[in-house]
Amino acid sequence: MAEFLLCAAVFVVATVAVGLLRLLRGPANTDRMMAAQLLGTGGIAALLLLAAATGEPAPVDVAMALALLAAFSSVAFVKSASR
Amino acid sequence: MTDALALAFDFGLAALVLIVATWTLLTRETAAAAVGFVAYGLLLTLVWMRLAAPDVALTEAAIGSGVTGTLLLGAAARLRPTEAAAEAEQPGKAMRFVVALLCASVSAGIAGTILMLPDPAPTLAAEAAAALPETGLGNAVTAVLLSFRSIDTLLETVVLLLALLGVWSLAPDRVWGGRPGPRDGAYQSEVLTFLAQILAPFGIVVAMHFFWIGADAPGGKFQAAAILAAMWILVQRAGLVDSPPVSRRWLRLVVVAGPVVFLAIGFLGSATAGAFLAYPEGYAKPLIIAIEAALLPSLAVALALLVAGPPARTE
Amino acid sequence: MNGAALFGVTAAALVGLGLYGLIVHPQPLRKILAFNVLGSGVFLIFGVVARRGAGAGMGGDPVPQALVITGIVVAFSATALAVALLLRLFEETGRASLRSDVSNANDEAGGNS
Amino acid sequence: MTLALDVLTVVAVSSGAFFFLAGTVGFLRFPDSLSRLHALTKADNLGLGLIMLGLLPRAGGVGSALKLIAVWLLAQVAGAAVTQLLARAARTAGPPA
């Protein structure tokens, strides 16, 4: 089971990594920020899977911090874009 | 099977880090580069997890990506008018090639050194583990930060304070002691207000959680302070509160309280335990918690004010 | 090659990339950004050293890890101060350039910045 | 019983991973910012939600399970609001290229 969860984590990160193409291609900076947002969500999912696979609690805490700060970065982006 | 999977994952992750870093450095538009830096920080957080350093992963996510990213995004937006002029100052092709060659040789030298590091690696892990019970802590990184190498942490809080003084001293005379940053009007966007109202209380709980578990599990005051700072900036951006004038006495007291308590406990060590920053036997854990509790508000306020910048208006 | 060595090579490459950006970019803000990339490469080297020193029931040597946490906070302080200086320069002169003589910029095209 | 829970985990995590894939494909292929944002929310809501659902039976305690739910709720609320903000930013930035 642990192996399946790890595979799922790798799959999710690989998927959102492909989404990073939007970071490189844009065209608008909003698209780039969306790619970062998707990477954050994928990272959260992968960390939760990792925590379940290894039985360690630490990745869940990191996931929580990522969830908070992904939103924070997006707000900073929107505010800076509207100025 | 699992090992091969892990190595493949590491390869992919390392490649992504390098691609995003290269793009961030080479892309034309600075605002786009700042967004790239945020994504780069997220990727580094995953790298730190792979290097079995969850404490660093948390710090990178909070300070490296979140707070620094915000700072760069804001500055890029302000400096947009200057971009075209700066573009013309780019050094010529030959020059860039020479610089690239030099930088590549620096990288090659470092990479070679890393690959030739002695095996087995010298480590202080065993010493840290052996000395851990004396501190009463369960998290070795926290023990290093606040007991074994606490002088580093003390100086670091002083550096943060000095940086804040430096930023404040950049204020023009007429707004000295005023409020940093532009005023964000209240209720400019219901969605932003909603987000700030939901996220900020949640963030405070999460920060306290990190602060509290930091003694025994990954977490601690830096991570907690960075999240608190982020939440304070968020409610300011949403226009729910204004940034405080930096001349306020409470603000200055909060900012210096952490380093002052740290120093006082350090001198207490000279008097009672025979060395600066030594903890009397049996009192290590309560004293460490006292230092952390005093540092948390200081660090949070200092981080947020560093992002806010120098005072810009008197009212 | 194991994971630690792989990230070690990545870290070395990041230092080189950051150094290149720091030297070549004419815009100060991009230099600050490149400086942060350079710094993160140095931090990663510490992380690799820590990972190689795993033992005593810990995934990595806690001493370099703690140094990195200190380093990240100090790097942020330096970044914040540099950005504030730059914004002040911009407010004061309307430009954000490290050159003292921008009018002569064309004569020196190709020179180092 | 454990078998049933394991099956739930596998099915939910796999579907969650599928929604991440679908969301990313849409995010890359859709022609304009707003529809790309629409694809992104599928990964945000369904992908993360289903993975969280699949991990719940393996949380190993009420506390850990609540923490998982908290992470998901946080990502939900933040994701929903941030999507709105980004959509406005995309619209004011002018017609998509």
User: By residue range, what is the domain housing residue D85?
Assistant: 2-92
Q: Is A72 on the interface with B (CB under 8 A)?
A: yes
Do B138 and B279 fall into the same domain? yes
Closest by alpha carbon to D15, among D58, D57, D46?
D46
Nearest residue of C to residue B15, measured between CA atoms: C10
Distance separating alpha carbons of residues C37 and D74, to the nearest angstrom: 30
Distance separating alpha carbons of residues B33 and B62, to the nearest angstrom: 19
Quote the pLDDT of residue B288: 84
Contacts of B20 (CB under 8 A, 6+ apart): A20, A23, B36, B39, B40, B43
Residue B107 in any domain: the answer is no
Nearest-CA distance C105 → chain B (Å): 7
- Contact: D81, B202; criterion CB under 8 Å: no
Nearest residue of A to residue D50, measured between CA atoms: A45
Contacts of A65 (CB under 8 A, 6+ apart): B58, B61, B62, B206, B210, B223, B227
| Angle (CA) B175 B179 B180, round 5° | 95
Residue among C16, C62, C75 whose CB faces B141 most closely: C62
Do B161 and B284 fall into the same domain? yes
Nearest-CA distance D61 → chain B (Å): 18
Residue among C51, C80, C85 whose CB faces B51 most closely: C51
Q: Is B107 on the interface with D (CB under 8 A)?
A: no
Question: ipTM score here?
Answer: 0.89
Q: What is the dihedral of CA A14, A16, A21, A22, to 10 degrees?
A: 180
- Contact: B189, D88; criterion CB under 8 Å: yes
Do B166 and B27 fall into the same domain? no
**Where does a domain end: B46, B80, B114?**
B80
Best mutation target, D71, D73, D74, D76, to test chain B (most B CBs within 10 A): D74
Quote the pLDDT of residue C107: 40
Residue among B78, B104, B159 whose CB faces C87 most closely: B78
Domain ranges of chain C: 3-95
Distance separating alpha carbons of residues A51 and D64, to the nearest angstrom: 11
**With the C-alpha atoms ordered B261, B263, B266, B267, is the resulting torsion angle positive or negative?**
negative
Nearest residue of B to residue D77, measured between CA atoms: B195
User: By residue range, what is the domain housing residue B74?
Assistant: 1-80
* pLDDT under 70: residue ranges of chain B: 1, 184-188, 315
Quote the pLDDT of residue B40: 93
Contacts of D84 in chain B (CB under 8 A): 191
Distance separating alpha carbons of residues B208 and C36, to the nearest angstrom: 28
Quote the pLDDT of residue B24: 92
Does chain B reach chain C with at least 3 CB pairs under 8 Å?
yes
Distance separating alpha carbons of residues B73 and A12, to the nearest angstrom: 28
User: What is the rounded average pLDDT for all residues in chain B?
Assistant: 85
Structure-token pair, residue B127: 């010493």
Between A80 and B201, name the one with better pLDDT.
B201
Quote the pLDDT of residue C103: 47
Q: Is B198 on the interface with D (CB under 8 A)?
A: yes
DSSP 8-state secondary structure symbol assigned to residue C55: B
Residue C110's pLDDT band (cuts 50, 70, 90)? very low
Domain ranges of chain A: 2-82
Q: Is B191 on the interface with D (CB under 8 A)?
A: yes
Do B70 and B131 fall into the same domain? no
pLDDT in tens, D2-58: 788 888 888 888 888 888 888 888 888 888 888 888 878 877 788 888 888 888 887
The domain total for chain B is 2
- Contact: A28, D93; criterion CB under 8 Å: yes
User: What is the rounded average pLDDT for all residues in chain D?
Assistant: 81
Q: Is A20 on the interface with B (CB under 8 A)?
A: yes
Which amino acid is located at C106 in the chain?
Answer: N
Report how far apart, in Å, the C-alpha atoms of A43 and of each of A70, B21, C1, C52, D40 are: 11, 18, 25, 25, 14
Beta-ladder partners of B311: B180
Residue among C51, C60, C113 whose CB faces B89 most closely: C113
pLDDT > 70 in chain B, percent: 98
Q: Show the 3-state SS of D25-88.
A: HHHHHCCCHHHHHHHHHHHHHHHHHHHHHHHHHHCCCHHHHHHHHHHHHHHHHHHHHHHHHHHH
Residue among B72, B91, B128 whose CB faces C63 most closely: B128
Q: Is B202 on the interface with D (CB under 8 A)?
A: yes
Distance separating alpha carbons of residues C95 and C88, to the nearest angstrom: 10
Contacts of A45 (CB under 8 A, 6+ apart): A9, A12, D16, D20, D47, D48, D51
Contacts of B203 in chain A (CB under 8 A): 68
CB of B288 closer than 8 Å to CB of B146: yes
Distance separating alpha carbons of residues B124 and D77, to the nearest angstrom: 43
Residue C43's pLDDT band (cuts 50, 70, 90)? very high
Distance separating alpha carbons of residues B37 and B73, to the nearest angstrom: 9
Do B76 and B144 fall into the same domain? no
Between C21 and B145, name the one with better pLDDT.
C21
Contacts of A66 in chain B (CB under 8 A): 42, 45, 61
- Contact: A37, D97; criterion CB under 8 Å: no
CB of B55 closer than 8 Å to CB of B220: yes
Pick the CATH number of C3-95 from 1.50.10.10, 1.10.287.3510, 1.10.1740.10, 3.40.190.10: 1.10.287.3510
Between B146 and C108, name the one with better pLDDT.
B146
Nearest residue of B to residue A32, measured between CA atoms: B35
The domain total for chain D is 1
The mean per-residue pLDDT over the stretch C67-76 comes to 92
Task: Name the phi and psi angles at B313, rounded to 5.
Answer: -160, 150
Distance separating alpha carbons of residues D46 and A16, to the nearest angstrom: 15
Best mutation target, B198, B204, B210, B227, to test chain D (most D CBs within 10 A): B198
Residue among C10, C55, C113 whose CB faces B126 most closely: C55
| Angle (CA) B92 B98 B104, round 5° | 130
Residue among A15, A19, A34 whose CB faces D86 most closely: A34
Does chain B reach chain A with at least 3 CB pairs under 8 Å?
yes
Contacts of C23 (CB under 8 A, 6+ apart): B99, B103, C112
Best mutation target, D66, D85, D86, D91, to test chain B (most B CBs within 10 A): D85
Residue D97 in any domain: the answer is no
Residue C106's pLDDT band (cuts 50, 70, 90)? very low
Quote the pLDDT of residue C113: 38
pLDDT in tens, A49-72: 888 888 788 888 899 888 888 888
Residue B86 in any domain: the answer is no
Nearest-CA distance A62 → chain D (Å): 10
Do B133 and B34 fall into the same domain? no
- Residue B78, Cα to own-chain centre: how many angstroms? 22
- Contact: A80, B2; criterion CB under 8 Å: no
pLDDT > 90 in chain C, percent: 45
Structure-token pair, residue B142: 């926290």
Which of the other chains make 3 or more beta carbon contacts under 8 angstroms with chain C? B
Residue C111's pLDDT band (cuts 50, 70, 90)? very low
Q: What is the dihedral of CA A6, A10, A15, A16, to 10 degrees?
A: 100
Contacts of B254 (CB under 8 A, 6+ apart): B297, B298, B301
Between A75 and C106, name the one with better pLDDT.
A75
Structure-token pair, residue B249: 């006495």
Quote the pLDDT of residue B29: 86
For chain D, the residues whose C-beta falls within 8 A of a C-beta of chain B are: 74, 77-78, 81-82, 84-85, 88
Q: Show the 3-state SS of chain B.
A: CHHHHHHHHHHHHHHHHHHHHHHHHHCCCHHHHHHHHHHHHHHHHHHHHHCCCHHHHHHHHHHHHHHHHHHHHHHHHHCHHHHHHHHCCCCCHHHHHHHHHHHHHHHHHHHHHHHCCCCCCCCCHHHHHHHHHHHCCCCHHHHHHHHHCHHHHHHHHHHHHHHHHHHHCCCCHHHCCCEECCCCCCCCCHHHHHHHHHHHHHHHHHHHHHHHHCCCCCCCHHHHHHHHHHHHHHHHHCCCCCCCCCCCHHHHHHHHHHHHHHHHHHHHHHHHCCCCCCCCCCCHHHHHHHHHHHHHHHHHHHHHHHHHCCEEECC
Indicate the pairing of strand B311-313 with strand B179-180: antiparallel
Nearest residue of B to residue D67, measured between CA atoms: B206
pLDDT in tens, D79-88: 888 888 888 8
Structure-token pair, residue B225: 């302070």
Q: Is C26 on the interface with B (CB under 8 A)?
A: yes
Quote the pLDDT of residue B186: 53
Distance separating alpha carbons of residues B232 and B306, to the nearest angstrom: 12
The mean per-residue pLDDT over the stretch C93-102 comes to 70
Distance separating alpha carbons of residues B291 and B282, to the nearest angstrom: 16
